[in-house]
Structures are given as structure tokens and as C-alpha cells.
A and B are shown apart, each in its own frame.
Chain A
């Protein structure tokens, strides 16, 4: 699946993914908080990159998730990648 990515779309996608991983509802996820603050395992966080590849149709270096610890930072970095 590919989509025309915009930052809000990316944020929404990431929020839903993270919520699934953490078994919470998306409303409980604050986009500005580092993912590790939610107790998301650092290695597990990398698997987000796999989901992003499917979503965006581009190759994503998993460490982008570490370099951009919150959903809002990550969506900005990803947007730059797709452009």
C-alpha cells in the first residue's frame, strides 16, 4: 500500500501502529512524547520501519526511529525522505 504522504497522514499512521504495539487506544498516544517513554522496547520500535516500508513503498533505515524518538519528529523525518 502506498499513499501520498503528508505529515498528518504519517502521524496518524504511526500513532495507530504504536497504539497497536502497546495495546492502547490511539487517543492515549502523545505524538510529542518519545516512544521509549511508553516502554516501547528499543528493538521493537525498529520494526516500525518495516511497516513504514509497506506504507510508503520506500526503503527506510530502521535507525531513523531511534534518531527521531517521537511520532512528530519521526513523521517530519519521513516526510523529508519521501520528497
Chain B
């Protein structure tokens, strides 16, 4: 596979799965595809991931596991999603279910959950309810204090693993007043409940990830012990918003894996399919599609990796960075998958089910990623609401060079400190604020090194575009209730500015220029080229960038 960040555990997992892809084995692609058609849960594949011991990467070290690096989890989920998105979604949910306990739970509560997850406990996360979409504040499930503990009532719906799960972390109303301090989190273990006090809601048929257990759970006077509370009473929304900063960032590993899978499939197809005596890949239209897909992957891959490192390096800025990542990566991948599916699925050329089916499934499965854990509208809204801070801090040129270098680096990251996550990023987004400085450094370096000139030129133009984006962000009136469409467009462009900053921090710095410096320079130039084409109406992706992308594909995947 290509552009893998696979090191350590991800490489091991990749080998583990690769040796279980034969006919009848847990990761038999044909069998997974057929199970999906029957809406059947991929039991064997998920069990195989348990056998691998994947859950240890969901439990922080202090609670007995090996969760030390978020970029590592990103790579692990990418490796699984390359095979099957449903399997990744079904297994990964336990991290989402447990994360609030890692963030706000009592030490002994977290220790106990750590042991349980390592022993195979499946945990789900009960946030959403029927008819209330993404509006968590309106949660109607109630948590009432009793003499013995708590009483839980109401329904959580469209919950991944609600039925399969052994436990669920539930966001519930502990105060009838509506307000940000009215919600609390309860950790509910089904084995400790009266069997009559809860019921599973039926699995909902879904367009993608059809085998996943997307269902619900209803509580009827469920009695919980006093120690079931996660964090303090009234702290629920705050904890969930912090937790989402982690999950929204790392879950884009699912998008990266889906794109890896689709691009490999489409590329192989385009190389092998002959049209009038020529390979499809030799036709301009086909070559452009795969080249653009590779460029998109280079950019979203960099954004995802840098953003995951930011959880370690800039935890206090993650309210912005997680929202940017969760909006940018899945939407870009959705769009790229559509292009690849079109290439492969053109019925005038082909009717090859072996190739069309996987792509059709990937495209369908992937749509869920832009929806769960905060849809693109929700996450862009979260960025828009911080525009006053983001524009102010950009104008102040508030930079943090040392941490920007670390965020873009490849060395081991700071230890993960979940208590550093903040609800609001008081100092904006350092990486975007560092764009002018990073571009200036590149321009200076290019004076002595002609090979850097194309990337320096692109970086300068991106800085000009960024200034315009900031000016638009500043001009948006603070509107607490109705966000205008124009504001969402500015948020989308701000994501591109972040993408440019991520690429510059990763590929322009001397740490990236070891023995592969010319490779990194070309990669940086190509990524910036693709970004500028999206930011500016008068720039198209250059022939050089497309050539680089095709060379990469030819070289890495071999023809």
C-alpha cells in the first residue's frame, strides 16, 4: 500500500490482516462484501481484531493499556478501513465509548474500565436521540438522583453497538432546566441492570456500513449505583465536547483507509483495462482522475497526521483543529471517491463487477464518516463560532514556532494529556497563524536552493489567499443563532489554509529534508498546488503536480 504511516503496531496489524484474507478467513473480501449485502455483522473480522489485541490501543497506559499516541490509532484504523469500513466502525466504537471515562472519570473507575476493555468489553456511546439530531443540549433521557444512586429513563437512538455493547456511556439530563450545566454522563453496564429496566431498539437499515449494529437502547427506571456517574453532575456536555475533540480527529483514519482502498482498486483497474488497444490510464481523463485522487490523499493524509499530533502538541487548540479535520477530510474523500467510482463505473467502457462492487461499497460506506460524531455542518459551525478569535489571533500573528515544528515533525510526540483539552481555543490556531512565517522562511531558503522556488511561490500565494479568508471571517457578523451560508464557505476555505499550514510544517522544515529532501520538496509543491487550486479561482492543478502524483502511483504500486 502507499503513503502508509504504518510503523510499529499499524504495520503489525497490517500483516495480521493480510495473512487472514484468504477464502473463508475472517478478512475474506468477498465474504465481507456478501455479508454486507445481507446486512450481517462482520463477526469473524471483529473477533480477529480482538485476538490481535487491538483494544489495548484504546486504553491509556496509566490504566493498563498502550494508548500513548493518537497518530498510532489513526494508522491502526486506516489499516482496517482499507479492508472494510464496517469492521473499523464496529471495533473502534469502544474507544469512543470509553473516552469520557479517560477524560473525566475517577481513577479507580478508569482503572476498572481499562481492565474490562482489555478483557474484551464492548462499549458504546449514547449521545443522540430520535428527532433531536446533533442537538445534544436537548437530550431528554433523564438521570435522577435517588436514595441509592441514580435512575435512568428514556431512549438513545442511532447508536453504534447499542445492542452488541456490554456497556454504554450515556449523556442524560440531570437537571430539568435547559442549559449547558444540565447534562451528566452515566456509565451503564448492562450486566448490572435489572433485565426489565432496559430494552434494545431494532437495528436500523442503513445505506452504508450495512452490517454495523446501528440501533438504540431504551431505559425504564434503570437503577444505577452512585458511582456510575462519569465526572461531576452537570459536567456532561463539557466532557463530551472535549471527548469529541479526540474522536473527531482520529476517526478520519476511516476516511484515509477508504481512500487507500478505492485508489488502489481504481488505479489497478485503469492500468489493466484496455480501450482500443491502449490502457485506460493512458487516457488523459483517467490519468487526471487518479492523479487528483493521489494529490487529495497526500493532502488529507498530512492534515490527519498533523492534526493527530496536535492532540499531543496543541491540546488547548483542538476545539478548532478537530472541527477543521472532521469537516475537511471526510468531505474531500467523499468527493474523491465519487470521481474514482465514476472512472471505474463508466458503463460505456466497462461492466466489471469485480471492480465496481468494492468501489460502490466504499463510496456508500464512507458517507457515514461525514455524518457521525459531528456532521460537516456541525463542525463548520464550531469553527465559525470561533471566527472572532481566529481572525483576531491571525492579525496578532500569534505564532508558536517550536510547537508548530513539533506538530509537523515525525519524531515521537509529547505524552498525551487529555486534561489539556479546552472548550475554546483562546489563542486561535497557531499553525494557520504561522503561515506567513513559514512561507517567508521557504522564500528565504529558495534564494539559495532553486528547487524550492516553486513551493515558495505557491506558499506566498496561499498566504495572500489566507489573508483574504481571514478578512472574510472578520467581516462575518457574530450571529449566535443563524449562521449564514457565506460563513460556511469561509470555514471551508479556512480548512484549506490549515491544510497548507499542515503541509508546510510537515514537508518544508529541515527535519523533513534528510536523504529524501527532493522527494519531500516535490511532495510539498504538489500538495500546495492542489490546495491553491481550491483556494483560488485563477489557479489549476499544474501538469507537474499531476505528473508527480502519477509517478508516485506507478512507482509505489508498480506496473
Contacts and interface: CB of A to CB of B under 8 A. Distances in A.
Interface in B114-152: 137
A20 B480 CA distance: 9
Contacts of A20: 478
Contacts of A66: 179-181, 238
Given A36-B179, A42-B137, A45-B180, A23 B479 contact: yes
Interface string A8-51: 00000000000011110000000000101001111111110111
B426 interface: yes
A4 B424 CA distance: 26
A23 B178 CA distance: 22
Interface string A51-81: 1011000010011001101000000000000
**Binding site secondary structure of chain B:** loop
Nearest to A18: B480
Contacts of B179: 34, 36, 42, 66, 69
A42 B180 contact: yes
A51 B137 CA distance: 24
A50 B238 contact: no
Which of B478, B479, B480 is most buried by chain A, counting CB atoms within 10 A of its CB? B480
Contact of A49 (B178, B180, B426): B426
Nearest to A36: B179
B388 interface: yes
B426 A53 contact: yes
Interface residues on A, range: 20 to 34
Nearest to A40: B480
Contact of A21 (B137, B392, B423, B479): B479
B235 to A, nearest CB: 9
Nearest to A39: B481
Residue of B179, B180, B238, B382 most packed against chain A (CB within 10 A): B180
A47 B388 contact: yes
A47 B389 contact: yes
A36 B424 CA distance: 18
B424 A46 contact: yes
A61 to B, nearest CB: 8
B205 interface: no
Contacts of A50: 388-389, 392, 424, 426
Contact of B382 (A22, A43, A51): A43
A22 B481 contact: yes
Contacts of A34: 177, 179
A46 B426 CA distance: 10
Interface string B379-390: 000100110110
B237 interface: yes
Interface string B217-251: 00000000000000000000110010000000000
A28 B372 CA distance: 37
Contact of B426 (A39, A59, A69): A59
A63 B181 CA distance: 10
Contacts of A23: 477, 479, 481
B422 interface: yes
B479 A47 contact: no
Contacts of B422: 62
A17 B366 CA distance: 41
A30 to B, nearest CB: 16
B181 A46 contact: no
A63 to B, nearest CB: 6
Interface of B: 137, 177-181, 237-238, 241, 382, 385-386, 388-389, 392, 422-424, 426, 477-481
Given A23-B479, A34-B179, A36-B179, 6 more contacts: A22-B481, A41-B481, A42-B237, A43-B241, A45-B180, A47-B385
16 contacts: A21-B480, A36-B137, A41-B481, A42-B137, A42-B179, A43-B385, A43-B423, A43-B424, A46-B424, A47-B388, A53-B426, A62-B426, A66-B181, A66-B238, A69-B179, A69-B181
